[in-house]
Structure 1
Amino acid sequence: MRRIAVTADSNSGITREMAEQEGVFIVPMLFTIDGKEYLEGVSLKSRDFFMYQEEGRDIKSAQPTVGSVLELWDSLLKEYDEVVHIPMTKALSGSYDTSLALSREYGDRVYVVDNQRISVTQKQSVWDAKRLAKEGKSGREIQEVLEASASESSIYLTVDTLSYLKKGGRITPAAAAIGDILNIRPVLQIQGGKIDAYAKVRGRKKSKQVLVEAIQKDIQERFAKAQKGRGIKLHAAYAGIPEEAMEWKQQLEEIFPGYTVDMDELSLNICTHVGKGALGIAVTCNLCGGI
């Protein structure tokens, strides 16, 4: 059986400690803050990130450096036969295209996956790839399974402030000003690699209710068949406020009895755009239609 290494970028939310424990490998996303470079999870921790963000520092995110990707792959291919690399979706980053170009130098030893995932859904793809490797699948087979189930996930997010959506050009300054006055908050949907406005609601309580209703609708409609097969998995995410996150997790487990709800902190790349206080919930169909 061929030895397969599974790699991803830190946008997956997989920490270095988690990666070491689970036997996967992570390349950090690059950030520049007031012109100084940082690596997510290495020289930039979430606590410091939110402090810089609230101070109004100039924060920009970027894909992992070419050197960090090549160094990781070269090291792994001394021990492993193949590498399966799962970057964040190419719809939201140039990381996939860069990784694909780099992989061509390795022939059939490196497979780069675009299954349109980001954050907690990308993380689930890493766990799925790891399990497929243990089952004896080749790198190409793992890539095919993950890409075949690309559309089988949804993420819904609500924000606590409109400042960073305005700063990133997602909403106009006028819309942000009106939203703040009326306490209107958008619910965003990430599906198929695209970020779209799902709803606009007034108040935090209502926005959380809309998140739940969106997932309930997906379970009943888009993922109805999955419940008869390998099933679905629920994920929750937060930005910078762990106390609220634990309360949110408990609420979700009461609303969705029988489901285990994983809770993760959103990757800093997403937090750049949504800011502290964002909450999210996601659903993935485990390898739906793949095996």
Structure 2
Amino acid sequence: MTIKILADSACDLSEDHYKTYDIEMVPLTVHLGDEEFKDSIDIKPKTVYDAMREGKSPKTSQVSPQSFKAIFTSYAQANQPLVYLAFSSELSGTYQTAKMMEQEVKEAYPGADLHVIDTKCASIGYGLVVLRAAQLAKKGADSDEIVETAGYHARNMEHIFTVDDLEYLYRGGRVSKTAAFVGSFLKIKPILHVEDGKLVPLEKIRGSKKLLNRMLDIMEERGTDFSSQTIGISHGDDVETAQKMAALIKAKFKTDDILIEMVGATIGAHAGPGTLALFFLNKDYK
């Protein structure tokens, strides 16, 4: 029986990806004012970015235990194998909730073939891991192969990103108020990365002109085998800059397989408009 792949909305994949690879998606929740929305179902990222530009502060919350229990139970009852690849446990409690529900469902259905994996990834970096798993599932791979290969891609997925305004990361508790103020005042652009699932500052660049080139330099320093993998770029409602980065990557690394998507509402609510992120493997494609 074909393994079913489950992801959550923080993977920032498009509806076309879900349909093409038969991926099931469970949404996180976005809170805007007094209203609640299911990420990527009831609300689009641009709505969140426009609200942030107007000074609003959207919030997010994890997937509920009830949602996971219902999904896991339905697959257990149908004897359908399921692999859930989760948004980084360092950025959301969704993974921990899913693990608790996995245990609960397996107590009721001891033979259930359920796997819950912490990717330690976010946005399209996470999405690329999900796509690799889904490709394997479509080819008939078993759950062990899918879990092993997806784990390899997750462990070796680089996330190099910048934000347009440090104020948004300050509101989300990612940087200090002083750093946010000084960065904005001096026009400093931070470059951050993900280390063991956490957001970690990497460098500070003064002026946006140097920024893209430096991000590509880091890609060259850390990455490998660019011609055999899909390179991911996600953006906070700034497709022009994302396309500019893609053109630079094609010219420098001679790769044409580049996936560009907008940073979804869940992550965008904390990173803000103007975010730009680059994703690639630091080991050979598997």
Q: Same fold (TM over 0.5)?
A: yes
Question: 1:145 matched to which residue of 2?
Answer: 149
8 Å CA contact 2:192–2:203 kept in 1: the answer is yes
User: Quick check: 152-161 or 102-111, which moved more?
Assistant: 102-111
Whole-Å Cα distance in 2 between the matches of residues 260 and 184 of structure 1? 31
Tell me which amino acid in the other structure corresponds to 1:164: Y
Structure 1 residue 74 displacement after superposition: 4.2
Question: 1:252 matched to which residue of 2?
Answer: 249
User: Quick check: 235-244 or 141-150, which moved more?
Assistant: 141-150
Provide closer, same or farther for how the CA distance between residues 287 and 131 of structure 1 changes in structure 2, counting only shifts above 3 A. Answer: farther
Whole-Å Cα distance in 2 between the matches of residues 247 and 211 of structure 1? 13
- Please, what is the CA RMSD of the aligned residues? 2.3
Matched, 1:175 2:141: no
SS of aligned partner of 2:211: helix
Structure 1 residue 65 displacement after superposition: 2.2
8 Å CA contact 2:40–2:264 kept in 1: the answer is no
Structure 1 residue 76 displacement after superposition: 4.7
Question: 1:233 matched to which residue of 2?
Answer: 230
Question: 1:45 matched to which residue of 2?
Answer: 44
SS of aligned partner of 2:280: strand
Cα deviation, 1:239-289, whole Å, max 9, x if unaligned, reads 11223322332222222213422111112222122210111111126885x
1:242 to 239, 244, 248: 239
Tell me which amino acid in the other structure corresponds to 2:276: L
Structure 1: gaps (5+ residues):
none
Whole-Å Cα distance in 1 between the matches of residues 137 and 11 of structure 2? 19
Whole-Å Cα distance in 2 between the matches of residues 231 and 114 of structure 1? 25
**What percent of counterpart residues are identical?**
23
Cα deviation, 1:99-155, whole Å, max 9, x if unaligned, reads 111112134321111232211121111121122223433224422332244421111
Whole-Å Cα distance in 2 between the matches of residues 126 and 77 of structure 1? 21
Whole-Å Cα distance in 2 between the matches of residues 7 and 86 of structure 1? 6
Whole-Å Cα distance in 2 between the matches of residues 110 and 172 of structure 1? 40
SS of aligned partner of 1:6: strand
8 Å CA contact 2:86–2:119 kept in 1: the answer is no
8 Å CA contact 1:30–1:40 kept in 2: the answer is yes
Question: 2:273 matched to which residue of 1?
Answer: 276
SS of aligned partner of 2:159: strand
Written as runs of structure 1 = structure 2, the 5 A alignment for 1:193-212 is 193-212=197-216
Taking structure 1 as the reference length, the TM-score comes to 0.87
Matched, 1:214 2:215: no
8 Å CA contact 1:14–1:26 kept in 2: the answer is no
8 Å CA contact 1:121–1:284 kept in 2: the answer is no
Whole-Å Cα distance in 1 between the matches of residues 100 and 194 of structure 2? 26
* Count of residues in correspondence between the two structures: 281
8 Å CA contact 2:236–2:268 kept in 1: the answer is yes
Matched, 1:126 2:130: yes
User: Quick check: 127-136 or 206-215, which moved more?
Assistant: 127-136
Whole-Å Cα distance in 1 between the matches of residues 191 and 265 of structure 2? 19
Provide closer, same or farther for how the CA distance between residues 52 and 36 of structure 1 changes in structure 2, counting only shifts above 3 A. Answer: same
Whole-Å Cα distance in 2 between the matches of residues 149 and 44 of structure 1? 29
Tell me which amino acid in the other structure corresponds to 1:233: T
Cα deviation, 1:134-184, whole Å, max 9, x if unaligned, reads 343322442233224442111111111121012122222222222222111
Structure 2: gaps (5+ residues):
none
Question: 2:7 matched to which residue of 1?
Answer: 8
Cα deviation, 1:70-103, whole Å, max 9, x if unaligned, reads 3334445566620110110112211111111111
SS of aligned partner of 1:250: helix
8 Å CA contact 1:184–1:203 kept in 2: the answer is yes
Provide closer, same or farther for how the CA distance between residues 287 and 89 of structure 1 changes in structure 2, counting only shifts above 3 A. Answer: farther
